[in-house]
Amino acid sequence: MKTGIDQTAMLAERIRSASATGHRLAITGSGSQRALAFPEGFAADVYPLEASGHHGIVNLAPSELVVSVRTGTPVMELQAALEESGMMLPFEPAMPTPSSTVGGMVALGLSGARRPWTASLRDAVLGTRILNGRGETLRFGGEVMKNVAGFDVSRLMAGSLGGLGMLLEISFKLLPAPACQAWLRREASAAAFIEQARDWGRTALPFSGLAWADGVMRIRLGGGEEAVQEAAERLGAETDDEGPAFWMQLRDRHLPFLTRPVSGNERLWRLSLPPATPPLDLPGEWLLNWGGGERWLRSTIAPDTLRPAVEAAGGHARLWSGDPDGAAWLHPRPAPQARLEGEVRAALDPDGVFFAPLIAPHPRTTRATPEPD
C-alpha cells in the first residue's frame, strides 16, 4: 500500500546544500504547532525546510498491528485510515488543526489521555527513516518490536523538535480500537481525584482517561461492551453528557483552559509528575490529566519559584505560553544529560544544520553566520 508523494531526494539536496553553505534549517510541517518548537522565531541564518509535501501511507497492516507513514501526512488522514480498519494509535495523538502532520506530532513527542493505559508516543514508535545533517538516508528500528534493540535512535526522535534529523517515515505499533466507550463524571476536589485515581490504578477496570477540572472528575472507559458496562456500574458515577466533547477538546488541546490568551504576567505551564503526587502548593488554576501525571497550571508564579517546587516533587515543567522572562521554555536538563544530548546531535548532524533552540545545544554553536544571499 504505497500512496502519496516521496520527496526524499529533494529534501536531501536541500540539506546537503545547507551543510555546504553554512545555512541552518528549521524543519517544519504545516506550521500549526510552530510556536511550540520555535517560540521565539527563527535566527537570521535559518530557513524553513517544509516537509508537508512528503506524505502518504506506505504500509498499513492491521493483522500485524503496524502502520508506516511518511511524515508530512496529516494526522487526520492517518486517523481516518486507521478507523476504517478498526485500529488506532495507542497514544491518542492530538489533531490541533486538519493540516497537523505526523512528523510534527512525533517531533513534539506529546501523548494523549489514553497514555497511562496503553503506551506513550515514544513507546509506540517501532522504526524510523531519517535524513541526517549531511543529507544521508538512515534507517533505525523496523516494523516489529524485536527489531528495537541497542541504542534506540528511533525513539529518540520523539520529542527531538527537529534537532536530530529530518524524519522521512515512521512505523507505529497499533492497537484495535475499543468496541465500546462510556463517559462518566463525579464532583471531587483535586486531592480526592488524585487519591481515587491512585486506588483505581490497582484495578483492572478498562479506563482510557481520567481527568479533573473545575471540581469535576472526568472518567472515560473503553473496551468490550460487557466490561465497560460492568465498570460503569461499579464506579457509580453519573453519565457525562459532555464527555465526548470534553475528551476530544482535551486531546486536541482546544479546551478554553488551554486556548484562552495569557494576560499580564500570567503563564501556562505543563507539568509532568508522578501521578500520585498530592496537589502542589502553587497558586493558580489547575487542569489534571493522566490520573494526575500530567498537570496544567495557569499562574503568575515566577519560573524560579515554580520549577524547584516541581523538581522537589519528582517532576519537570514546560512553559507552554506566556513571557518566559529569561527562563528556559523546557525544564533545564542536568549537565550530564545535556552533554549527552549535544553529543547525539553532533553524531547525527555533524555540521549543525538543524535549528532546534529548545533542546541541548549542538557542540558547534560558533558557526559563522553566512552572508545574506
Residue 152 forms part of a structural domain: yes
316/331 Cα distance (integer angstroms): 6
Residue 331 forms part of a structural domain: no
37 and 117 in a common domain? yes
76 residue type, one letter: M
194 and 171 in a common domain? no
235 and 308 in a common domain? no
146 and 18 in a common domain? yes
HEC string of 153-212 equals: HHHHCCCCCCCCCEEEEEEEECEECCCEEEEEEEECCHHHHHHHHHHHCCCCCCEEEEEE
Residue 369 forms part of a structural domain: no
Domain boundary among 227, 251, 275: 251
Q: Say what the pLDDT of residue 371 is.
A: 42
Domain boundary among 132, 150, 176: 176
Residue 114 forms part of a structural domain: yes
Q: Residue 206: which CATH number?
A: 3.30.70
C-alpha distances out from residue 289 to 113, 142, 217, 276, 354, Å: 7, 32, 10, 12, 33
For the chain, the domain total comes to: 3
Length of the chain (residues): 373
Strand partners, 366: none
12 and 129 in a common domain? yes
Q: Which residues of 180-211 are buried (b: 16+ CB within 10 A; e: fewer)?
A: ebbbbbbebebeebbebbeeebeeebbbbbbb
What cell numbers appear for 199 in the block?
Answer: 486506588
Q: Say what the pLDDT of residue 144 is.
A: 67
Q: Say what the pLDDT of residue 2 is.
A: 63
Domain boundary among 220, 251, 282: 251
Q: Which residues of 68-105 are buried (b: 16+ CB within 10 A; e: fewer)?
A: bbbbbbbbebbbebbeeeebbbbbbbbbbeebbbbbbb
CA 151 to chain centroid, in Å, comes to 21
134 and 44 in a common domain? yes
Q: Residue 16: which CATH number?
A: 3.30.465.10
Residue 233 forms part of a structural domain: yes
What cell numbers appear for 261 in the block?
Answer: 490568551
CA 298 to chain centroid, in Å, comes to 20
Q: Say what the pLDDT of residue 225 is.
A: 97
The parent domain of residue 303 ranges over 256-321
pLDDT tens string for the chain (373 positions)?
567 999 999 999 999 999 999 999 999 988 888 999 999 999 888 999 999 999 999 999 999 999 999 999 999 999 999 999 999 999 999 999 999 999 999 999 999 999 999 999 999 999 999 999 999 999 998 876 555 555 688 999 999 999 999 999 999 999 999 999 999 999 999 999 999 999 999 999 999 999 999 999 999 999 999 999 999 999 999 999 999 999 999 999 999 999 999 989 999 999 999 999 999 999 999 999 999 999 999 999 999 999 999 999 999 999 999 999 999 999 999 999 999 999 999 999 999 999 999 998 877 654 444 443 4
Q: What is the DSSP string of 102-120?
A: HHHHHHHT---TTGGGS--
Per the listing, cell 494526522 goes with 75
- Cβ pair 298, 284 in contact under 8 A: yes
262/254 Cα distance (integer angstroms): 15
CA 264 to chain centroid, in Å, comes to 28
112 and 20 in a common domain? yes
62 and 191 in a common domain? no
Instruction: Kindly give the pairing relationship between strand 24-28 and strand 46-50.
Output: parallel
57/332 Cα distance (integer angstroms): 36
172 and 27 in a common domain? yes
Residue 357 forms part of a structural domain: no
Residue 330 forms part of a structural domain: no
131 and 39 in a common domain? yes
97 and 54 in a common domain? yes
185 and 172 in a common domain? no
Residue 170 forms part of a structural domain: yes
